[in-house]
Chains A and B, each alone.
Chain A
Amino acid sequence: MSVDHKPHPKPAQYVQIALVLGVLTAIEVALYYTEDFVGVFTDPLLIILAVGKFVIVVGWFMHLRFENSLINKFFTGGMILALILFAIVMFERAAANFI
């Protein structure tokens, strides 16, 4: 409906994006099994991969990067607020239990 958005990708591009997502998932599962080799890097890597997949689906499949920036602000705002609030709760609970 909105007039001024950039053109959405073509089906072929969607398939390519899905392939990337599939490969990332494969890497994730592989990381799970190679935890003994990768060691402490496993969890950060898994988080980075999940964030990557998240951004790809939101940006391309949900067309967020083609939308008006207002929508982007809402979604990112909600995301950041949730991250801050829940990080505080988690740290507070961890700290309280540690003591």
Chain B
Amino acid sequence: MTKIIEPKKQSNIFKRPSSETGIWSWITTVDHKKIGIMYGYAAFFFLLIGGIEALLLRIQLASPDNNFLSAAEYNAMFTMHGTTMIFLAIMPISAAFFNYLLPLQIGARDVAFPRLNALSFWIFIFGGVFLYSTFLFGTAGAPQGGYLAEEVSRLGSAPNGGWFGYQPNAGFKYSPGTAMDYWAIGLQILGIASLVSAFNFITTILNMRTKGMRLMRMPVFTWMTFAVSFLLAFSLPIIAIALFYVTFDRQFGTTFFLTEGGGDPILWQHLFWLFGHPEVYILILPAFGIVSEVLPTFSRKPLFGYPAIVFAGFGIAFIGFGVWAHHMFASAISPVAQAGFGLSTMVIAVPTGVKIFNWLGTIWGGKLKLNTPMLFSLGFIGMFVIGGLSGVTHSIVPADTQQTDTYYVVAHFHYVLFGGAMFGIFSGLYYWFPKVWGKMYNEALGKIHFWLMIIGFNLTFGPMHWLGLQGQVRRTWVYAEETNLGFWNLIVSIGAFIIALSILVFMANWIYSKRKGPEAGFDPWDARTIEWSIPSPTPVWNFSKAPEVKSLDDFWHMKYDEDEDGRPVRKEGADALLAELEEEGLNPSEEIVLPNPSYFPIILASGLPFLGYAVIYKMLPLAILGTLLILIGSFGWGTEPLEEEFMEDLENE
């Protein structure tokens, strides 16, 4: 029996929530594992929506002069596809990994601020719902000199100025109606969520490490989380202010980005990409971390050049702040800036290359076990190298000027963000599946998923390279028959549906294996890091007592010695040790104090969308309601202790 001791029930505004199962246990939870799982499902839901939007785009482009979507609908779909995938799918799915794994990898019981963690999650949910409520409430009128007003509709009114919101196109004149306001304020809300979680993760990594877990003993995934948190913390404030300006321009008649009022549209591009480029690394670094965990495990070798990978990660994060203007080579920026940013873009390829060689060094001569997570990681390396190489071509300014706004760019960033980030994420989803659910996924279905996905992916995005170089313009709803682009566009669209099919296989595998999969045991991979030294699924208290870490890859060194050739030899007592660890992990011998669930994070978070609506519709009652919810949330939060005082409950044993 466990020794979690029942808290004395206190109350300030509400009675403290106490359910351990059912919907309320999820709504009020502050447990990093539950929050991580919720992040994962919510992000996957948005991934599906973003995917459907992409399929609609591809149906439209499957044949020349197609009429499936109107121009207005096409604009709305590509805007929402980009916004959804970046802010509502990949970022939160990375946050799911951070939440679930970070405390486990550093041997902590929870993150530094558990309720703040719940707050981040709920702000993210409310931000996503707010953004998507544009389909119900938003309006998108006809811009001056643009398509006809009657074309707008059918799908509801969604933001249509692109995920980058370039000004003045996304201003009130060319994007009339409220849809772009939903976009600006929605991103603002989502930004708060990420900012809060960034503070939380930085402090967690610095201050919640267990005994002996020095910085240079942390798993690489934890290191990459650390780097991502810094990127978030220092880049999101910039976009927050820029989005304020957009909202002011659209709602209160200012002209920050409008030339007719003396404003500067290029300033928007600077501020947007000052955030936007670090954002690229925010999306890709978590995948770097995941791959750096998976490859050593299935190569049965330590990660090649651990310090190099860590420092390269931080090198990327740091230089990532200094390359933003390469997104603006076709804008009116000065030639000095073009030269400087071209150079820095070449430089950032160096730490990235270092990582690639580290991964290759890791699998070199290893005893590879090619199961699903490993396949996805290997796929990641291949696809990411292609995306990285096409990325470096953008650093040559004259070449980039040719490629700007063509499908070549679309191919490049999908190779990086899908072939890179998403392959890494799928690798991680399979790799940690047994840890989260205690069951094993179906290997055959996993492999089918991988092969379908990598074939579909290359069919979709490979041809875009030459389509782009042949001059197909991105963000355009139709192309003429005479351009002869029809064949490859059809192939691309077929590829997109193969990807969709592979996602269905993944979902089937997930749903089936979670219920019916064989028991996984707590160390199915013979893994290296300490999250595998505890039972699966992870008990609520994580570690029954604080582990003491003696080296990098501590769990591996508990199980293995090296012979004189450096080959691993399993220790004699290893199996007994594992049995002992499992026994211990399920039956903590000391009293465990966990943070209690709370209503206040969700109450506080629920105030933000009302403030958003209040700005759009200039309705004071909504503003008051939003402020009230935030005040109630903060007051209750402030007066409620994190952990209730505990009474010894002796009958529990």
Q: How far is the CA of A99 from the CA of B271 in the complex (A)?
A: 21
Total count of chain B residues near the partner, CB < 8 A: 16
CB < 8 Å neighbour of B333 from A81, A85, A92: A92
A92-B321 contact given A78-B234, A81-B234, CB 8 Å threshold: no
B274 touches A96 (CB 8 A): no
A95-B234 contact given A81-B321, A85-B274, A89-B270, CB 8 Å threshold: no
Q: Which residue of A lies closest to B324 (CB)?
A: A85
A99 touches B334 (CB 8 A): yes
Closest CB in chain A relative to B559 CB, distance in Å: 35
Q: How far is the CA of A88 from the CA of B336 in the complex (A)?
A: 11
B274 touches A89 (CB 8 A): yes
Q: How far is the CA of A47 from the CA of B271 in the complex (A)?
A: 25
| Residue B337 at the chain A interface, CB threshold 8 Å | yes
What is the interface of chain A mostly: helix, strand, loop, or mixed? helix
Q: How far is the CA of A85 from the CA of B325 in the complex (A)?
A: 11
A95-B337 contact given A78-B234, A81-B234, A89-B274, CB 8 Å threshold: yes
Closest CB in chain A relative to B651 CB, distance in Å: 36
Q: Considering the complex, which residues of chain B in the window 561-586 have a beta carbon less than 8 Å from any beta carbon of chain A?
A: none
| Residue A93 at the chain B interface, CB threshold 8 Å | yes
Closest CB in chain A relative to B650 CB, distance in Å: 33
Task: Give the residues in chain A near B336, CB-CB below 8 Å.
Answer: 92, 95
A85-B337 contact given A93-B267, A96-B266, A96-B332, CB 8 Å threshold: no
Task: Give the residues in chain A near B270, CB-CB below 8 Å.
Answer: 89, 92-93
Interface string of B328-344 (1 = CB under 8 A from A): 00001110110000000
Q: How far is the CA of A22 from the CA of B267 in the complex (A)?
A: 37
| Residue B264 at the chain A interface, CB threshold 8 Å | yes
Total count of chain A residues near the partner, CB < 8 A: 11
Q: How far is the CA of A95 from the CA of B335 in the complex (A)?
A: 9
Q: How far is the CA of A78 from the CA of B202 in the complex (A)?
A: 14
Interface string of B262-297 (1 = CB under 8 A from A): 001011001100100000000000000000000000
Interface string of A56-78 (1 = CB under 8 A from B): 00000000000000100000001
Q: How far is the CA of A13 from the CA of B149 in the complex (A)?
A: 69
CB < 8 Å neighbour of B264 from A70, A85, A93: A93
B234 touches A92 (CB 8 A): no
Q: How far is the CA of A85 from the CA of B266 in the complex (A)?
A: 15
Task: Give the residues in chain B near A92, CB-CB below 8 Å.
Answer: 270, 325, 333-334, 336-337
Task: Give the residues in chain A near B267, CB-CB below 8 Å.
Answer: 89, 93
Known: A96-B266, A96-B332. 11 other contacts (CB 8 A): A70-B206, A81-B321, A85-B238, A85-B274, A89-B274, A93-B264, A93-B267, A95-B334, A95-B337, A96-B333, A99-B334
Query: A residues touching B (Cβ–Cβ < 8 Å)?
Result: 70, 78, 81, 85, 88-89, 92-93, 95-96, 99
The 4 closest A-B pairs by CB, nearest first: A95-B334, A92-B337, A96-B334, A89-B270
